[in-house]
């Protein structure tokens, strides 16, 4: 399965992508996670990406396309991956098709996850994550067992992502509307889009996703 999860920040792409990848043994390619790791390691890509990420803006297409080209070519991603956070522009979607075509592959499915804007703002400001395993929690709806530490890393305090501050969240949603939401039409027009509501419990959304994927 070569799958793209599309949708606004906070809709649950990361949580659902992580679970799909773990349960179906697909590689998870989360461009946001790859970039945050590069920022933490202060690589040249990380330093350049950080300037865009802090402002809630997109990192340039050529950088992202190169990154996904390399990652999707690694052995674990051969034939089975879920892309979370890529493509985010029409140029990235075109590049993804060409890179897969050049390997004799194609995308099997594109899932569009949706939720109302105010729900996304609420979720993102309550979102916390484990800095070690990147597991996501929500202070209101999905807190960790002890309210503070990662369930899987009990000595590690959960943190808020810098770009989850409310002003940056609003900017990211604006950027999504302008630059990424046209991809819904792009894939719908090609008959490749399957739409799933990102509302309800994580388990419920996960069930709907599997139903939409026929697995």
Give me the active site residues, please. Answer: 13, 88, 127, 161, 172
Q: List Cβ neighbours of 43 (8 Å cut-off, separation of 6 or more).
A: none
Whether residue 128 contacts residue 140, with contact meaning beta carbons closer than 8 Å, is answered with: no
x/- map, 30-59, ligand AMP, by CB under 6 A: -xx--x----------------xx--xxxx
Nearer to ligand AMP, 88 or 128 (CB): 88
Q: DSSP 3-state assignment of 122? A: helix
Check residue 165 for interaction with ligand AMP (CB under 6 A): no
Instruction: Write down the least CB distance from residue 82 to ligand AMP, Å.
Output: 13
Q: Which two tokens stand for residue 147?
A: 């309210």
x/- map, 56-75, ligand AMP, by CB under 6 A: xxxx----x-----------
Identify the residue among 8, 12, 85, 198 touching ligand AMP (CB under 6 A).
85
Report which DSSP code applies to 76. Answer: G
Q: DSSP for 29-66, please give it.
A: EEHHHHHHHHHHTT-HHHHHHHHHHHTTPPPPHHHHHH
Stretch in the footprint of ligand AMP (CB under 6 A) among 27-35, 104-112, 119-127, 143-151: 27-35
Whether residue 160 contacts residue 127, with contact meaning beta carbons closer than 8 Å, is answered with: yes
Check residue 19 for interaction with ligand AMP (CB under 6 A): no
Nearer to ligand AMP, 12 or 56 (CB): 56
Q: Which two tokens stand for residue 4?
A: 């793209």
Check residue 8 for interaction with ligand AMP (CB under 6 A): no
């Amino acid at each position: 399965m070569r799958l793209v999860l599309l949708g606004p920040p906070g809709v649950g792409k990361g949580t659902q992508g992580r679970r799909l990848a773990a349960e179906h043994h697909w590689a998870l390619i989360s461009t946001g996670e790859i970039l945050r790791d590069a920022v933490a390691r202060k690589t040249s890509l990380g330093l350049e990406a950080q300037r865009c990420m802090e402002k809630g803006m997109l990192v340039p297409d050529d950088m992202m396309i190169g990154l996904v080209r390399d990652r999707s070519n690694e052995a674990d991603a051969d034939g089975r991956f879920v892309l979370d956070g890529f493509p985010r522009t029409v140029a990235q979607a075109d590049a993804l098709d060409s890179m897969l075509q050049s390997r004799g592959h194609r995308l099997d499915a594109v899932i569009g996850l949706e939720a109302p804007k105010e729900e996304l703002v609420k979720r993102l400001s309550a979102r916390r994550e484990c800095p070690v395993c990147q597991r996501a929690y929500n202070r209101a709806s999905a807190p960790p067992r002890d309210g503070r530490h990662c369930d899987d890393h009990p000595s590690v305090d959960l943190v808020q992502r810098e770009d989850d501050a409310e002003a940056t969240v609003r900017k990211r949603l604006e950027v999504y509307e302008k630059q990424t939401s046209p991809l819904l039409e792009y894939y719908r027009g090609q008959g490749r889009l399957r739409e799933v509501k990102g509302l309800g419990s994580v388990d419920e959304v996960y069930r709907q996703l599997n139903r939409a994927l026929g697995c």
